[in-house]
Amino acid sequence: MAWHDLRIKAGHGAASVRNAMRGISAMAHYLDVEPMALPENAVQLTSDARMEREGKQLAPSTAMKYQGALVAWRLYLNTGQTIRQRPGPGLAKFVRDQDVLDWATSLSVAKNKADGTVRTYTATVQSVADFADCDARDLYRSDLEAYIEGAIVRAQRAGKDTIKNNYRSHICKAVRSFCTYMHENVMDFPDITHGIERGAKESAINTKAISEEMFFRILELAEEDAVSPDLEVAKLGRQIRALTKLMGFSGLRISEASRSSPSHLVTNMGNWRIKIPDAKCRHGVSDDELLVDDIVVEELTMNWSPNEVICPDWDPKTAGEKFTGWVIKKGIFTTPRALRVFYGSWLYNKTKDIMLVRDQLRHKSIETTQLYIRQVPDDARDRQVTSFGAEMMRAQGIKQARSRSSVTPLRVMNGGAS
């Protein structure tokens, strides 16, 4: 059995195994030998070789990791065995259910989950099974409901009203992952979390909307950067300007805004919509298209080529880091989510229609939208959404470049292609 597979079976996490293998490869590279020929003092020799080549030794923390990898590697070469790290990949020590152990291995190896995630997931499912006094494969929905109710009672005894929604969601997410594994690999196993309300995310509830003044300050600074003679500064400023408008004027997530382009715009009966790129149809509800503000249409059609993606090289995490880093450098402390909350709260204050806000933000639960809380006549709903940004711009005294009627549909820009 290969060293990689043996260490995984011995309970080491996938990331830990990869790092150990990289350490062995790095030492072999510095010493210019095959990995199987690494001597017992390879770490010290590597540090000396690095000093000779690059003028600096291995950092103490790196040397310690290399030493651990070297001990395990030499043990494997001499005996064909390795050091067992813990009962399972990333597991809490009290996990003993075999199904849970197998599921944990799947999370660590097949799903490549971090050790911390595996540990908390398995500990949660084992706790639910212990509470129900049964094996994990024998759990029922009533057992999970009783466990959550018990957690609420313990919270109330501690002087709290209830458990946090984040904790409830974590319990359901861990159990649902176990149910999926069992259904796909072991037996016909139902999702016992189905129908249990997981509640709104605390991260959304705790995020405050950015102020109107700060929002327009971001747009102003982004516009200044967009016309900079420095091409890199201009490129980033242009991207930040587009992201800010898409999130603040239409409520898109930054993961969606960063992947948007003019080609995603469509028009139907006088109203513009944007096809959500890489739509996940969250909660089983399709969110392929979304009503979009005229300011967003103007930004995309006037400043971007028809098939030009705003941030083609950014994944969602990078997009969030780039946006947050840019605004902090400008002296503004906010996050992409704050712009989405800004859109929802402003739209509700304008329309008093929480159902409209929920539809635009694509929430499953009205509780998630409760921050921004009812009703305008149905025939006015579309107008409220598509004039949102334009009215805000006018209120700030910012002149629009062109009117709504002069926005050119994409099928004309693309030479008539649909």
Using DSSP bridges, classify how beta strands 271-275 and 289-291 pair: parallel, antiparallel or unpaired. Answer: antiparallel
Q: Token pair of 307, please?
A: 């098939």
| Whole-number pLDDT of residue 239 | 94
pLDDT in tens, 68-124: 888 888 888 887 776 554 444 445 456 677 788 888 877 776 666 777 778 888 888
Domains and CATH numbers, the chain: 3-79 (no CATH), 98-199 (1.10.150), 212-413 (1.10.443.10)
Question: What pLDDT, on the 0 to 100 scale, is given for residue 126?
Answer: 87
- pLDDT (0 to 100) of residue 284: 42
Length of the chain: 418
Q: What is the pLDDT of residue 399?
A: 58
The pLDDT of residue 238? 94
Closest to 248 measured CA to CA, from 218, 279, 289, 282:
218
Q: What is the pLDDT of residue 286?
A: 46
Looking at residue 110, its pLDDT comes to 64
pLDDT 10s digits, 139-196: 888 888 888 888 888 888 888 777 777 788 888 888 888 888 888 887 777 888 876 6
Ordered mean pLDDT values, 10 residues apiece, the chain (418 residues): 70 74 88 88 88 82 82 81 52 68 76 74 87 86 87 83 78 88 80 66 56 90 93 93 92 89 85 74 55 89 91 86 90 86 85 86 80 48 66 67 50 47
